[in-house]
């Protein structure tokens, strides 16, 4: 075995250009698999992180309220209170399409919504300055607001300067009660994670001219209880609506699981496409090894006449093909790892070579050497020593 390995290295070294061209397909194939899979995983990981930041313990309830069948805010709060052992927070959610104005400045892409005092905890945010929405604000319909860091910086210059100031939301004057700490450390962008304004949901319903609230956000105490909590909600709502089409409970954890499945499927698909180049490279290895057998026919005849067995001859050529593919695989891994980091930084993705992509692509490259090297090796082993010695 060791002798065959040494002979393989000697043969590769003595035919450097031919060996490199043989390896080239393997190098490109392995590098392609690593680059594609790593970039896709890097991109999708950032998507998953952004999605997870929404809260994997959260679930959203959408209702279609009818005149005869509707779940009131009081009923939803009563349900929440009865199951406080599994639900950590709950808030009505009222979206408001609004333009923000302060002096001569205006913001049109800001996310405006009405929530309860528990929304801050649901989001997992902390305050940079001031206070949160309070229960008293809900009861009294106080026109106060909690704003994101972007809004504070854009309209007032800083969170501290924003405190106590007034912002007009669709013409209604709201006093800034609090500013949420900065969420996006990379930059403050219009429509980004720091561009929002929260008001008491009781005020939001009045602004939207609708007494019915058709959206709620629940947060479970334990992510593992998501299925049980979803079932509790669905059973409660079914008693009220008697029709599954009139309500929908969506758990973020379920959507995250579905997203992860799609990521795995996409990675496998792209890895398979890139892997086709490895198959093509295998054909190249086989062709070059067949040429090598033809060139070394006399050498094979001499070895067989000196007592070399068929298995030894076959071993020599199979190992040579495997070594060629392995070296190509190693170079492909190094090239793929370097290219992944460079391309990832250029397109703004934190992409690193995934161990599974490296292991699979290298294993496939070695396997290709063994499989496609078998036919030439078998041909060499079957040569008649007398006929081989006659070859010029």
Question: What pLDDT digit, counting tens, does each position of 278-313 carry?
Answer: 777 777 777 776 666 666 666 666 666 666 676 676
- Given a cut of 60, whether residue 155 has pLDDT beyond it is yes
Q: Determine the Cα–Cα distance for residues 337 and 14; give it in Å rounded to an integer.
A: 29
- Given a cut of 60, whether residue 80 has pLDDT beyond it is yes
Query: How much is the average pLDDT of 39-64?
Result: 76
pLDDT for the residue numbered 126:
93
36 vs 193 pLDDT, higher one: 193
| DSSP label at residue 1 | -
Most confident of 13-17, 103-107, 176-180, 304-308: 176-180
Domain extent for 186: 97-212
Which of 35-39, 137-141, 332-336, 350-354 is predicted least confidently? 350-354
Query: How much is the average pLDDT of 252-273?
Result: 73
SS3 assignment, position 89:
strand
Q: Looking at the structure, do residues 277 and 369 belong to the same domain, yes or no?
A: yes
Which of 92-96, 256-260, 380-384 is predicted least confidently? 380-384
Q: Looking at the structure, do residues 268 and 341 belong to the same domain, yes or no?
A: yes
* Sequence-separated contacts (24+) of 290-295 with Cβ below 8 Å: 290/375, 290/376, 290/379, 292/11, 292/15, 292/317, 292/320, 292/376, 293/317, 293/376, 293/377, 293/379, 293/380
**42 part of a folded domain:** yes
**70 part of a folded domain:** no
Q: Looking at the structure, do residues 323 and 383 belong to the same domain, yes or no?
A: yes
Maximum C-alpha span of the chain: 106
180 vs 70 pLDDT, higher one: 180
Q: Looking at the structure, do residues 268 and 382 belong to the same domain, yes or no?
A: yes
Q: Tell me the chain's radius of gyration from C-alpha atoms.
A: 33
The two structure tokens encoding residue 309:
């067995």
Query: How much is the average pLDDT of 214-223?
Result: 90
Residue 334: CB atoms within 10 Å:
15
**170 part of a folded domain:** yes
256 vs 338 pLDDT, higher one: 338
pTM for the whole structure? 0.61
When divided into structural domains, the chain yields a total of 2
Q: Looking at the structure, do residues 386 and 285 belong to the same domain, yes or no?
A: yes
- Given a cut of 90, whether residue 344 has pLDDT beyond it is no
Q: Phi and psi at residue 380, in whole multiples of 5°?
A: -65, -40
**235 part of a folded domain:** no
**279 part of a folded domain:** yes
Angle, vertex CA 276, rays to CA 269 and CA 4, nearest 5: 125
pLDDT for the residue numbered 276:
75
DSSP string, 212-233: ---EEEEEES-GGGHHHHHHHH
pLDDT for the residue numbered 9:
67
Q: Looking at the structure, do residues 180 and 266 belong to the same domain, yes or no?
A: no
Q: Look up tokens 């009220």; give the residue.
A: 240
Q: Look up tokens 């070695």; give the residue.
A: 366
SS3 assignment, position 130:
strand
pLDDT for the residue numbered 6:
67
**34 part of a folded domain:** yes
Among 178, 196, 212, the domain-final residue is: 212
C-beta separation of 357 from 37 below 8 A: yes
Determine the straight-line distance between the first and last CA of the chain, rounded to whole angstroms: 29
pLDDT band at 390 (very low <50, low <70, confident <90, very high): low
- Given a cut of 80, whether residue 336 has pLDDT beyond it is yes
Q: Looking at the structure, do residues 140 and 206 belong to the same domain, yes or no?
A: yes
Q: Looking at the structure, do residues 305 and 384 belong to the same domain, yes or no?
A: yes
Q: Which uninterrupted H or E stretch holds 344? A: helix 310-346
CA atoms within 13 A on the CB side of 312: 12
Q: Determine the Cα–Cα distance for residues 341 and 39; give it in Å rounded to an integer.
A: 9
C-beta separation of 94 from 213 below 8 A: yes
Q: Look up tokens 């989001």; give the residue.
A: 123
**38 part of a folded domain:** yes
SS3 assignment, position 167:
strand
Q: Looking at the structure, do residues 263 and 376 belong to the same domain, yes or no?
A: yes
**Residues comprising the chain, all counted:** 392
Q: Looking at the structure, do residues 44 and 102 belong to the same domain, yes or no?
A: no
pLDDT for the residue numbered 92:
95
C-beta separation of 376 from 286 below 8 A: yes
Query: How much is the average pLDDT of 254-267?
Result: 73
Q: Looking at the structure, do residues 273 and 328 belong to the same domain, yes or no?
A: yes
Among 158, 187, 212, the domain-final residue is: 212
Q: Looking at the structure, do residues 267 and 206 belong to the same domain, yes or no?
A: no
> Mean pLDDT, the chain, as a whole number?
82
């Amino acid at each position: 075995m060791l002798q065959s390995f040494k002979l393989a290295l000697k043969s590769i070294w003595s035919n450097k250009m031919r060996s490199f061209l043989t390896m080239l397909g393997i190098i490109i194939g392995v590098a392609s698999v690593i680059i594609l899979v790593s970039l896709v995983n890097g991109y999708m990981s950032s998507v998953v992180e952004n999605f997870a930041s929404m809260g994997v313990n959260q679930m959203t309830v959408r209702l279609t309220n009818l005149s005869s069948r509707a779940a009131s805010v009081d009923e939803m709060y009563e349900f929440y209170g009865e199951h406080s052992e599994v639900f950590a927070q709950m808030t009505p959610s009222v979206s408001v399409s609004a333009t923000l104005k302060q002096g001569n400045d205006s913001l049109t892409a800001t996310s405006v919504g009405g929530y309860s005092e528990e929304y801050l905890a649901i989001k997992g945010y902390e305050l940079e300055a001031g206070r949160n929405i309070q229960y008293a604000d809900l009861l009294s319909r106080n026109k106060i607001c909690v704003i994101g860091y972007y809004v504070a910086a854009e309209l007032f210059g800083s969170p501290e300067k924003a405190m106590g100031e007034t912002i007009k939301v669709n013409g209604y004057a709201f006093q800034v009660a609090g500013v949420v700490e900065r969420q996006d450390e990379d930059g403050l962008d219009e429509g980004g994670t720091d561009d929002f304004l929260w008001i008491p949901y009781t005020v939001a319903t009045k602004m939207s001219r609708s007494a019915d609230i058709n959206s709620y956000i629940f947060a479970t105490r334990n992510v593992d209880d998501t299925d049980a909590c979803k079932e509790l909600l669905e059973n409660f709502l079914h008693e009220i609506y008697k029709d599954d089409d009139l309500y929908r409970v969506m758990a973020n954890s379920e959507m995250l699981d579905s997203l992860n499945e799609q990521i795995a499927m996409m990675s496998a698909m792209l890895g398979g496409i890139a892997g086709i180049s490895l198959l093509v490279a295998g054909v190249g290895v086989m062709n070059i090894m067949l040429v090598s057998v033809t060139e070394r026919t006399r050498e094979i005849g001499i070895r067989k006449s000196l007592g070399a067995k068929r298995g030894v001859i076959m071993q020599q050529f199979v190992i040579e093909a495997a070594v060629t593919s392995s070296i190509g695989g190693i170079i492909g891994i190094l090239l793929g790892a370097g290219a992944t980091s460079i391309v990832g930084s250029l397109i703004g993705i934190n992409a690193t070579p995934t161990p599974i992509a490296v292991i699979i692509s290298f294993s496939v490259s070695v396997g290709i050497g063994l499989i496609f090297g078998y036919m030439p090796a078998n041909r060499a082993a079957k040569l008649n020593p007398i006929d081989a010695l006659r070859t010029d």
